[in-house]
Amino acid sequence: MKIFSIILMTTILSSCSVFDDDDITRPVPVDSVFVNNTSNLSADFTAKIYCGSYCWKNTYFEKSINGNNVFIKIFAVSDESSVCPAVCVEYQIPINITLPVSGSYTFHFWKSDTSSIDTTIILGM
């Protein structure tokens, strides 16, 4: 019985860390985009977000390519257990996109589910 109790307590305590994770990941809208550099198969951008948070631990982006359309969505990971001041913080997020072939591509940077910032770039032609 004692061994069973120890195993049970160890299992419960180790599973608590799964529920203690206060990190929240959410998409964030891009306010402006700057093209820094292009080459035959890649484009470097800087996406600006004007109302970020001091609680953001990091940001990352996801891309999907459908033909000559490239859809980019930026996500922020924040610590919801922290107390954050209610002020806007500007973030600049570097984005490097590598494409399979040269050509004309339209990049769509997510602003909301119904809008995006769009820019068309010709690579390697």
* 3 is a domain residue: no
Question: Can you tell me the mean pLDDT for 3-19?
Answer: 46
Dist CA 46 CA 35 (whole Å): 7
**Residue 124 confidence (pLDDT) above 90:** no
Between residues 116 and 14, the one the model is more confident about: 116
Residue 16: is its pLDDT beyond 80? Answer: no
Domain count, the chain: 1
Pair type for strands 103-112 and 69-79: parallel
Instruction: Examine residue 17 and state whether it is found in any structural domain, yes or no.
Output: no
Position 37 in a domain: yes
pTM for the whole thing?
Answer: 0.78
Residues spanned by the domain of 86 = 22-123
Residue 32 belongs to some domain of the structure: yes
Token pair belonging to 104 = 């004309």
Phi/psi at 17 (5° precision): -65, -25
5 within a domain of the structure (yes/no): no
On whether residue 6 sits in a domain, the answer given is: no
Residue 13 placed within a domain: no
Q: Say if 31 falls within a structural domain.
A: yes
Residues 29, 116 contacting (CB under 8 angstroms):
no
**pLDDT single digits (tens) 28-69:** 999 999 999 999 899 999 999 998 888 888 999 999 999 999
Biggest CA-to-CA distance, the chain: 74
